[in-house]
Amino acid sequence: MTAINPTSRKTIAMVLAGGKGERLSPLTLSRPKPGVSFGGKYKIIDFVLSNFFNSNIKNVYVLTQYKSYQLNKHIRDSWDKWTGWDEHFEAISPETNSDGEEWFKGTADAIGHYLRFVEDSDADYVAVFGGDHIYKMDIRQMIDFHSAHQADITIASLEVPQAEARRFGVFSVDEQGRVLEFAEKPEQPQCIPGRDTCFASMGNYIFSRQKLIQMIKEGKKRYADLDFGKHVIPMMLAQGDAVYAYNFNENLIPDMTPEEKGYWKDVGTLDSYYEANMDLVAVSPQLNLYNYRWPILTKPSNLPPAKTVFDDDDRRGQCLDSYVCGGCVISGGTVRRSVLGQRCRINSFSVVEDSILLEGVNVGRGARIRRAIIDEGVQIEDGAVIGYDRDADQKAGYTITQGGIVVVSACKRD
């Protein structure tokens, strides 16, 4: 990896974390998408913030809006405590804006509300990243690419097969990676020169600071709902700015496993959220949470270790091929191929299979659960059966995804 001189390339970050995440409902009825739990002990927001922290970029503003209190508290109680006197991981929301309570109308409009932080900074670059994806990335390598190409904006891009590219916004580029055109879900996506793959936008950007200020001010004159993908990037292409695509597949972190290279998940639907969590229990998961040279950080916990209780022939507490967090007690029940968040309790004679239990779930005696997502704090009654009978699950008012996953939430829809 290329060493970065932090004094010559100062970067501040703006993380967009205000999304409702409606396709993740009911998990997002009481929290924003970046505040949803993932991998037992983490929040989705922890992945992008860990990338910045591990990349030694520690001047970070997190822009929140939808039901933001708990997410703001999570950032304040964890991330802001790990920075130095001249560093910050700071959550800011529309209600704290001196201009009054106003919701963001587009991704670039959100930056526009807090452009003063960019203008007052002495940074050379501004990283504008989304807060709702699961991946690991050394952002310094993207900054290196941006600097080497003297770019005005660099767009993090996934290299995807041409057949899959029709689902994305696709860039056509020249041999140096400069973006020539952008097309949204094209019928015939243009391939990267010399390859049979295409560049799809990840929605993460490195801007040269003055160019970002210029484009936000110009864009706000034209569009009330100013958005990077719909407005800012096309404006920059039209005026001949240096727009480059950075190949995320070439980003390397210390001790990366072969399975991890290019791993990026948009957990925007309940099915994709379930699949990404379930990948964690694989023997060689694509996302390795045990890489201590690139850790995923979150709020520190003083919970005790997980515990199994009873080893009788008819009642045995056991976990098999599962991911179990601190504070859990498996008391005479069986857990197979599942992810258990903190402080879950699995009581006697119950069985949990191929499921995700968020923090504080209590599974009653003799209950059976399979292929389910159980929201935080839900109490499963003794003898309950979930995931075995679709009609019964629907009658109980549970959400059932296209992939057949049953979602049980304590929150009720309006």
One domain for residues 138 and 197: yes
Q: Which residues pair with 264 in a beta bridge?
A: 135
Is residue 130 included in any domain, yes or no?
yes
- Determine the Cα–Cα distance for residues 64 and 307; give it in Å rounded to an integer: 36
Between these two residues, 332 and 68, which has the higher pLDDT value?
332
CB 8 within 8 A of CB 122: no
What is the pLDDT at residue 413? 54
One domain for residues 327 and 275: no
Q: Binding site residues for alpha-D-glucose 1-phosphate, as ranges?
A: 169, 184-185, 201
Is residue 288 included in any domain, yes or no?
no
List, for residues 20-50, the tens digit of each pLDDT value. Answer: 778 899 999 989 899 999 999 999 999 999 9
- CB environment 4-29: b (16+ within 10 A), e (fewer): beeeebebbbbbbbbbebebbbbbbb
For CA atoms 160, 163, 166, 172, give the dihedral sign.
Answer: positive
One domain for residues 260 and 340: no
For CA atoms 104, 107, 112, 115, give the dihedral sign.
Answer: positive
CA-CA distances (angstroms) from residue 343 to 279, 340, 355, 357, 363? 22, 8, 16, 10, 11
List, for residues 99-113, the tens digit of each pLDDT value. Answer: 444 566 788 998 998
One domain for residues 203 and 326: no
Q: Where does a domain end: 237, 263, 279?
A: 279
Mean pLDDT of 69-77: 89
Between these two residues, 249 and 83, which has the higher pLDDT value?
249
One domain for residues 324 and 228: no
Is residue 296 included in any domain, yes or no?
no
pLDDT band at 348 (very low <50, low <70, confident <90, very high): very high
Q: Is 65 left (phi over 0), alpha (psi -120 to 50) or beta?
A: alpha
Is residue 356 included in any domain, yes or no?
yes
One domain for residues 223 and 335: no
64-68, 285-289, 300-304, range with the lowest pLDDT = 64-68
Q: Where does a domain end: 279, 297, 317?
A: 279
One domain for residues 358 and 400: yes
Is residue 318 included in any domain, yes or no?
yes
Q: Where does a domain end: 242, 264, 279?
A: 279
- Determine the Cα–Cα distance for residues 145 and 143; give it in Å rounded to an integer: 5
List, for residues 137-193, the tens digit of each pLDDT value. Answer: 999 999 999 999 999 999 999 999 988 888 888 989 998 999 999 887 888 888 998
Domain membership of residue 268 as a residue range: 11-279
Is residue 367 included in any domain, yes or no?
yes
- Say which CATH number the domain at 340 has: 2.160.10.10
CA geometry: angle at 324 spanning 278 and 133, to 5°?
Answer: 45
Nearest to 61 by CA among 15, 18, 114: 15
- Say which CATH number the domain at 170 has: 3.90.550.10
One domain for residues 20 and 160: yes
Is the pLDDT confidence value at 97 over 60?
no
One domain for residues 112 and 188: yes
- Determine the Cα–Cα distance for residues 318 and 340; give it in Å rounded to an integer: 13
One domain for residues 273 and 129: yes
One domain for residues 262 and 354: no
One domain for residues 153 and 229: yes
- Determine the Cα–Cα distance for residues 17 and 67; give it in Å rounded to an integer: 11
What is the pLDDT at residue 103? 65
Q: Binding site residues, as ranges?
A: 169, 184-185, 201
What is the pLDDT at residue 125? 98
Is residue 100 included in any domain, yes or no?
yes
Tally of domains within the chain: 2
Helix intervals (H) in 31-138: 45-54, 69-77, 107-113, 115-119
Helix axes 69-77, 45-54, angle to 10 degrees: 30
List, for residues 230-273, the tens digit of each pLDDT value. Answer: 899 999 999 999 999 999 999 999 999 888 999 999 998 999 99
Mean pLDDT of 289-300: 94
Percent of the chain with pLDDT over 90: 73
Is residue 6 included in any domain, yes or no?
no
